Amino acid sequence: MNLFFEGNLGVGKSFLLWEALGAYASAVKGFCVQRLYENGERIGFRAVCLERGFPTPEIAYVPGMEGVFILREHYEVVPLEEAILRVESDARAPCCKLVLLDEIGGIELTSRVFMDALKRVLSGGVPCVGVFKSRENLIHASSVLGLGAEYPALHRELEALIRKRGELITVTDKNRVDVHRRLQSYISDNS
């Protein structure tokens, strides 16, 4: 069974995962999204595959850095495709007990390469945990990036797939403690 979280921007979904999974870093494969900053302003996002623990959630942007998929309101899906294909390969390693997907449900929805690999990862033998972009966050991203009208339907399809193969929990300020307990139990059961 897979376990995913959704919720408003800034509620701490990724932080919750990183905090709970920290002690299990050697048994976790997957990818995280880093926020990229320049002169104190967030200018983009980068996909980082896990190697030895979790990367910092925020980093200064350096021209030419790998994995950048959004930069100054322009997006490129290839870095996300590369990340999910690596995750698919890494998930086969004997040491992999959990796959972290932080976050899915955004610009990659129209990529057949990404979505096909994601479906294989979600249905594979290794449990997945991660963040699923909420509808509200997708609407915001769509307006900023000018995403096409097909995104909401594709988002609903992915949500249905996640729910079919696991659980999707909405994180709020009020339920953070309960969600943390649920996540700890899930990790204990799957590691």
Q: What is the tens place of the pLDDT at every residue in 40-78?
A: 999 999 999 998 778 888 999 999 999 999 999 899 999
Confidence band for 118, pLDDT divided at 50, 70 and 90:
very high
Structure confidence at residue 123 (pLDDT): 93
How would residue 104 be classed by pLDDT, with cut points 50, 70 and 90?
very high
- Higher-confidence residue: 75 or 148? 75
Q: What confidence score (pLDDT) does residue 53 get?
A: 79
Predicted pLDDT at 144: 76
pLDDT of res. 15: 86
Q: How many domains does the chain have?
A: 1
- The residue among 156 and 73 whose pLDDT is bigger is 156
What is the pTM for the complete model shown?
0.92
Q: Domain residues for 24?
A: 2-190
Assign residue 138 the CATH number of its domain: 3.40.50.300
- Mean pLDDT score of the chain, rounded to an integer? 91
For the segment 25-39, the average pLDDT, to the nearest whole number, is 93
Question: What 3-state DSSP class applies to 81?
Answer: helix
Higher-scoring residue by pLDDT: 142, 155: 155
Question: Which token pair is 56?
Answer: 């910092």
